Amino acid sequence: MTTAVGIDIGGTGIKGAIVDLESGKLLSDRIKLPTPTGGEPDDIVATVVEIITQLGVEPGVPVGVCFPAVVLHGTTMSAANVSQKWIGLEAEALFEKALGRDIHFVNDADAAGYAEVRYGAAKGVDGLVILTTLGTGIGSAIIYNGVLVPNSELGHLEIDGKDAEKKASFAAKERSRLSYERWAKRLQKYYSHVEALFSPDLLIVGGGVSKSYEEFLPLLSLRAPIVPAVLRNNAGILGAAALAVPQGDKSVTVPQASVAVDSPGTKPKAAL
Ligand code: BGC
Protein backbone atom coordinates (compact mmCIF):
# COMPACT_ATOMS: atom_id res chain seq x y z
CA MET A 1 0.00 0.00 0.00
CA THR A 2 1.28 3.47 -0.82
CA THR A 3 0.18 6.12 1.63
CA ALA A 4 0.54 9.88 1.77
CA VAL A 5 -1.04 12.75 3.62
CA GLY A 6 -3.16 15.36 1.88
CA ILE A 7 -3.84 18.80 3.35
CA ASP A 8 -6.36 21.12 1.69
CA ILE A 9 -6.15 24.78 2.72
CA GLY A 10 -9.32 26.74 2.00
CA GLY A 11 -10.77 30.12 2.90
CA THR A 12 -12.96 28.76 5.70
CA GLY A 13 -11.42 25.44 6.69
CA ILE A 14 -8.19 23.46 6.54
CA LYS A 15 -8.66 19.71 6.11
CA GLY A 16 -6.29 16.81 6.20
CA ALA A 17 -6.23 13.02 6.11
CA ILE A 18 -4.01 10.04 5.43
CA VAL A 19 -4.76 8.55 2.00
CA ASP A 20 -4.29 5.17 0.33
CA LEU A 21 -2.97 6.27 -3.06
CA GLU A 22 -3.94 3.09 -4.89
CA SER A 23 -7.64 3.19 -4.03
CA GLY A 24 -7.99 6.92 -3.35
CA LYS A 25 -9.66 6.12 -0.02
CA LEU A 26 -9.04 7.88 3.28
CA LEU A 27 -7.20 5.73 5.82
CA SER A 28 -7.79 8.10 8.72
CA ASP A 29 -10.50 10.39 9.97
CA ARG A 30 -10.67 13.67 8.10
CA ILE A 31 -9.50 16.42 10.43
CA LYS A 32 -10.91 19.86 9.76
CA LEU A 33 -9.93 23.03 11.61
CA PRO A 34 -11.20 26.53 10.86
CA THR A 35 -8.94 28.74 8.76
CA PRO A 36 -7.56 31.40 11.11
CA THR A 37 -9.20 34.80 10.58
CA GLY A 38 -7.24 36.91 8.14
CA GLY A 39 -5.52 33.88 6.60
CA GLU A 40 -2.05 35.10 7.61
CA PRO A 41 0.81 32.76 6.64
CA ASP A 42 2.12 32.01 10.16
CA ASP A 43 -1.37 31.21 11.47
CA ILE A 44 -2.14 28.90 8.57
CA VAL A 45 1.20 27.14 8.92
CA ALA A 46 0.50 26.61 12.65
CA THR A 47 -2.92 25.10 11.80
CA VAL A 48 -1.35 22.69 9.30
CA VAL A 49 1.22 21.64 11.93
CA GLU A 50 -1.69 20.97 14.33
CA ILE A 51 -3.48 18.79 11.76
CA ILE A 52 -0.35 16.76 10.98
CA THR A 53 0.17 16.29 14.73
CA GLN A 54 -3.45 15.22 15.28
CA LEU A 55 -3.18 12.75 12.41
CA GLY A 56 -0.09 11.23 14.06
CA VAL A 57 1.77 11.15 10.77
CA GLU A 58 4.99 9.13 10.93
CA PRO A 59 8.24 10.68 9.72
CA GLY A 60 8.91 9.87 6.06
CA VAL A 61 5.26 9.69 4.97
CA PRO A 62 4.96 12.03 1.96
CA VAL A 63 2.83 15.12 2.57
CA GLY A 64 1.03 17.12 -0.13
CA VAL A 65 -0.50 20.51 0.63
CA CYS A 66 -2.80 22.47 -1.67
CA PHE A 67 -3.52 26.18 -1.48
CA PRO A 68 -5.83 28.64 -3.33
CA ALA A 69 -3.16 30.55 -5.26
CA VAL A 70 -0.73 30.21 -8.15
CA VAL A 71 2.15 28.06 -6.86
CA LEU A 72 5.39 28.34 -8.77
CA HIS A 73 8.30 26.22 -7.52
CA GLY A 74 6.97 26.43 -3.98
CA THR A 75 6.33 30.17 -4.03
CA THR A 76 2.78 31.52 -3.84
CA MET A 77 2.45 34.09 -6.62
CA SER A 78 -1.11 35.35 -6.14
CA ALA A 79 -3.72 35.91 -3.43
CA ALA A 80 -7.15 36.38 -4.98
CA ASN A 81 -9.15 35.42 -1.89
CA VAL A 82 -6.49 35.13 0.83
CA SER A 83 -4.15 37.50 2.69
CA GLN A 84 -1.94 39.56 0.36
CA LYS A 85 1.04 38.46 2.46
CA TRP A 86 1.10 35.23 0.46
CA ILE A 87 2.15 37.00 -2.73
CA GLY A 88 5.79 36.20 -3.45
CA LEU A 89 6.11 34.10 -0.29
CA GLU A 90 8.31 30.98 -0.30
CA ALA A 91 5.41 29.09 1.19
CA GLU A 92 6.62 25.55 0.62
CA ALA A 93 9.85 26.31 2.51
CA LEU A 94 7.86 27.94 5.32
CA PHE A 95 5.71 24.81 5.79
CA GLU A 96 8.75 22.54 5.54
CA LYS A 97 10.59 24.48 8.24
CA ALA A 98 7.62 24.39 10.62
CA LEU A 99 6.88 20.73 9.96
CA GLY A 100 10.50 19.56 9.90
CA ARG A 101 9.82 17.52 6.74
CA ASP A 102 9.54 17.89 2.98
CA ILE A 103 6.15 18.65 1.51
CA HIS A 104 4.78 18.96 -2.00
CA PHE A 105 2.89 22.21 -2.48
CA VAL A 106 0.33 22.82 -5.25
CA ASN A 107 -2.68 24.92 -6.27
CA ASP A 108 -5.99 23.72 -4.75
CA ALA A 109 -7.92 23.32 -8.00
CA ASP A 110 -4.98 21.52 -9.60
CA ALA A 111 -5.09 19.04 -6.72
CA ALA A 112 -8.87 18.58 -7.03
CA GLY A 113 -8.68 18.11 -10.81
CA TYR A 114 -5.86 15.61 -10.56
CA ALA A 115 -7.86 13.65 -7.97
CA GLU A 116 -10.93 13.52 -10.23
CA VAL A 117 -8.81 12.18 -13.10
CA ARG A 118 -7.08 9.60 -10.95
CA TYR A 119 -9.98 8.46 -8.75
CA GLY A 120 -13.21 10.25 -9.72
CA ALA A 121 -15.37 11.65 -12.50
CA ALA A 122 -12.63 11.55 -15.16
CA LYS A 123 -11.05 8.21 -14.26
CA GLY A 124 -10.16 6.46 -17.50
CA VAL A 125 -11.04 9.49 -19.65
CA ASP A 126 -8.43 10.27 -22.31
CA GLY A 127 -7.90 13.65 -23.88
CA LEU A 128 -8.42 17.06 -22.39
CA VAL A 129 -10.24 17.29 -19.07
CA ILE A 130 -10.95 20.65 -17.46
CA LEU A 131 -12.17 20.84 -13.88
CA THR A 132 -13.49 24.08 -12.47
CA THR A 133 -14.39 24.59 -8.82
CA LEU A 134 -17.21 27.02 -8.10
CA GLY A 135 -16.67 28.48 -4.63
CA THR A 136 -15.45 31.80 -3.25
CA GLY A 137 -13.50 32.05 -6.49
CA ILE A 138 -13.33 29.82 -9.55
CA GLY A 139 -10.42 27.42 -9.59
CA SER A 140 -9.35 25.39 -12.60
CA ALA A 141 -7.28 22.37 -13.52
CA ILE A 142 -6.28 21.35 -17.04
CA ILE A 143 -5.31 17.70 -17.44
CA TYR A 144 -4.33 16.18 -20.77
CA ASN A 145 -4.08 12.38 -20.93
CA GLY A 146 -3.52 12.27 -17.18
CA VAL A 147 -0.83 14.97 -17.12
CA LEU A 148 -1.61 18.12 -15.19
CA VAL A 149 -0.78 21.50 -16.73
CA PRO A 150 -0.51 23.54 -13.51
CA ASN A 151 -1.72 27.01 -12.56
CA SER A 152 -4.24 27.52 -15.37
CA GLU A 153 -6.26 30.10 -13.36
CA LEU A 154 -9.24 30.03 -15.72
CA GLY A 155 -11.32 31.70 -13.02
CA HIS A 156 -9.57 34.91 -13.94
CA LEU A 157 -10.44 34.86 -17.63
CA GLU A 158 -11.68 38.30 -18.58
CA ILE A 159 -15.24 38.19 -19.89
CA ASP A 160 -17.06 41.40 -20.85
CA GLY A 161 -14.19 43.31 -19.22
CA LYS A 162 -14.68 41.55 -15.88
CA ASP A 163 -12.80 38.91 -13.93
CA ALA A 164 -14.92 35.80 -14.56
CA GLU A 165 -14.97 34.59 -10.95
CA LYS A 166 -16.43 37.91 -9.79
CA LYS A 167 -19.54 37.17 -11.89
CA ALA A 168 -19.83 33.40 -12.03
CA SER A 169 -18.44 31.91 -8.81
CA PHE A 170 -20.79 30.50 -6.20
CA ALA A 171 -19.92 33.50 -4.00
CA ALA A 172 -21.10 35.79 -6.84
CA LYS A 173 -24.41 33.88 -6.94
CA GLU A 174 -24.81 34.38 -3.19
CA ARG A 175 -23.67 38.01 -3.23
CA SER A 176 -26.19 38.94 -5.93
CA ARG A 177 -28.87 36.55 -4.61
CA LEU A 178 -29.20 34.94 -8.01
CA SER A 179 -31.62 32.08 -8.62
CA TYR A 180 -30.05 28.98 -10.15
CA GLU A 181 -31.62 29.98 -13.49
CA ARG A 182 -30.01 33.44 -13.49
CA TRP A 183 -26.71 32.08 -12.26
CA ALA A 184 -26.83 29.43 -15.01
CA LYS A 185 -26.92 32.22 -17.62
CA ARG A 186 -23.61 33.52 -16.26
CA LEU A 187 -22.23 30.00 -16.11
CA GLN A 188 -23.30 29.43 -19.71
CA LYS A 189 -21.30 32.46 -20.83
CA TYR A 190 -18.32 31.36 -18.79
CA TYR A 191 -18.24 27.73 -19.92
CA SER A 192 -18.93 28.66 -23.56
CA HIS A 193 -15.85 30.87 -23.39
CA VAL A 194 -13.74 28.12 -21.81
CA GLU A 195 -14.99 25.67 -24.42
CA ALA A 196 -14.22 28.04 -27.30
CA LEU A 197 -10.66 28.48 -26.05
CA PHE A 198 -9.79 24.89 -25.14
CA SER A 199 -12.24 22.42 -26.79
CA PRO A 200 -12.12 20.05 -23.82
CA ASP A 201 -13.33 16.44 -24.04
CA LEU A 202 -14.89 16.66 -20.58
CA LEU A 203 -15.78 19.47 -18.18
CA ILE A 204 -16.06 18.69 -14.46
CA VAL A 205 -17.70 21.04 -11.99
CA GLY A 206 -16.48 20.90 -8.39
CA GLY A 207 -16.85 23.02 -5.27
CA GLY A 208 -19.45 22.64 -2.53
CA VAL A 209 -22.33 23.66 -4.82
CA SER A 210 -21.64 20.72 -7.14
CA LYS A 211 -23.75 18.58 -4.80
CA SER A 212 -26.72 20.61 -6.10
CA TYR A 213 -25.65 20.07 -9.72
CA GLU A 214 -29.16 19.04 -10.77
CA GLU A 215 -30.27 22.63 -10.21
CA PHE A 216 -27.91 24.14 -12.77
CA LEU A 217 -25.94 21.70 -14.92
CA PRO A 218 -29.02 20.61 -16.96
CA LEU A 219 -29.57 24.30 -17.83
CA LEU A 220 -26.21 24.51 -19.62
CA SER A 221 -25.73 23.78 -23.28
CA LEU A 222 -22.19 22.84 -24.28
CA ARG A 223 -20.60 20.57 -26.85
CA ALA A 224 -18.51 18.71 -24.26
CA PRO A 225 -20.20 16.69 -21.52
CA ILE A 226 -20.29 18.67 -18.26
CA VAL A 227 -20.52 16.53 -15.12
CA PRO A 228 -20.32 17.05 -11.36
CA ALA A 229 -17.16 16.16 -9.46
CA VAL A 230 -17.61 12.97 -7.46
CA LEU A 231 -14.96 13.32 -4.77
CA ARG A 232 -16.58 16.41 -3.28
CA ASN A 233 -14.93 17.55 -0.04
CA ASN A 234 -12.08 15.09 -0.33
CA ALA A 235 -10.82 16.04 -3.80
CA GLY A 236 -8.18 18.51 -2.58
CA ILE A 237 -6.91 16.10 0.08
CA LEU A 238 -6.71 13.19 -2.37
CA GLY A 239 -5.07 15.21 -5.14
CA ALA A 240 -2.51 16.86 -2.86
CA ALA A 241 -1.59 13.46 -1.44
CA ALA A 242 -1.41 11.83 -4.88
CA LEU A 243 0.74 14.60 -6.36
CA ALA A 244 3.19 14.23 -3.46
CA VAL A 245 4.20 10.80 -4.78
CA PRO A 246 5.23 10.36 -8.42
CA GLN A 247 3.10 7.61 -9.99
CA GLY A 248 5.00 4.36 -10.25
CA ASP A 249 7.45 5.35 -7.50
CA LYS A 250 7.79 2.12 -5.56
CA SER A 251 10.29 3.62 -3.12
CA VAL A 252 7.38 4.88 -1.06
CA THR A 253 5.56 1.54 -0.77
CA VAL A 254 4.85 0.44 2.78
CA PRO A 255 2.66 -2.05 4.61
CA GLN A 256 0.99 0.39 6.99
CA ALA A 257 0.62 4.13 7.40
CA SER A 258 4.28 4.27 8.42
CA VAL A 259 6.69 4.73 5.54
CA ALA A 260 10.39 4.41 4.86
CA VAL A 261 11.26 6.78 2.05
CA ASP A 262 14.38 6.05 -0.04
CA SER A 263 17.04 8.03 1.79
CA PRO A 264 16.69 10.74 4.39
CA GLY A 265 16.45 14.19 2.90
CA THR A 266 15.63 12.88 -0.58
CA LYS A 267 12.59 14.64 -1.92
CA PRO A 268 10.42 12.56 -4.27
CA LYS A 269 9.95 14.26 -7.62
CA ALA A 270 6.26 14.64 -8.28
CA ALA A 271 4.29 15.36 -11.42
CA LEU A 272 4.93 19.10 -11.20
C1 BGC B 1 -7.47 31.59 -7.22
C2 BGC B 1 -7.03 30.21 -7.63
C3 BGC B 1 -7.79 29.16 -6.83
C4 BGC B 1 -9.29 29.41 -6.90
C5 BGC B 1 -10.10 28.44 -6.07
C6 BGC B 1 -8.98 31.71 -7.32
O7 BGC B 1 -9.38 32.97 -6.90
O8 BGC B 1 -6.86 32.55 -8.05
O9 BGC B 1 -5.64 30.04 -7.46
O10 BGC B 1 -7.49 27.88 -7.33
O11 BGC B 1 -9.60 30.72 -6.51
O12 BGC B 1 -9.73 28.45 -4.74
pLDDT in tens, 74-103: 999 999 888 999 999 999 999 999 999 999
| CB 4 less than 6 A from any atom of ligand 1 | no
Among candidates 150, 186, 119, which has minimal Cα distance to 272?
150
Residues 104/65, Cβ–Cβ less than 8 Å: yes
Specify whether the CB–CB gap between 227 and 204 falls below 8 A.
yes
pLDDT in tens, 126-157: 999 999 999 999 999 999 999 999 999 999 99
Q: How far, in Å, is the centroid of ligand 1 from the Cα of 112? A: 12
Residue 203 neighbours by CB under 8 Å, 6+ apart = 129, 130, 131, 132, 191, 194, 195, 222, 224, 225, 226, 227
Q: Which of 75, 81, 156, 158 to mutate to test the pocket of ligand 1 (most atoms within 8 A of CB)?
A: 81
* CB proximity list for 226: less than 8 A, separation 6 or greater: 191, 202, 203, 204, 205, 217, 220
pTM of the model: 0.91
- Is any ligand 1 atom within 6 A of the Cβ of residue 68? yes
Q: Check if 169 has its Cβ closer than 6 Å to any atom of ligand 1.
A: no
Best residue among 86, 153, 163 to mutate for probing ligand 1's pocket (most ligand atoms within 8 Å of CB) is 153
Quickly state the pLDDT bin for 249 (edges 50, 70, 90).
Answer: low
Q: Could you give all domains of the chain from N- to C-terminal order, each with its CATH number?
A: 3-110+233-270 (3.30.420.40), 123-230 (3.30.420.40)
In ligand 1, which atom is closest to the CA atom of 11?
12
Cα–Cα nearest to 153, from 101, 113, 196: 113
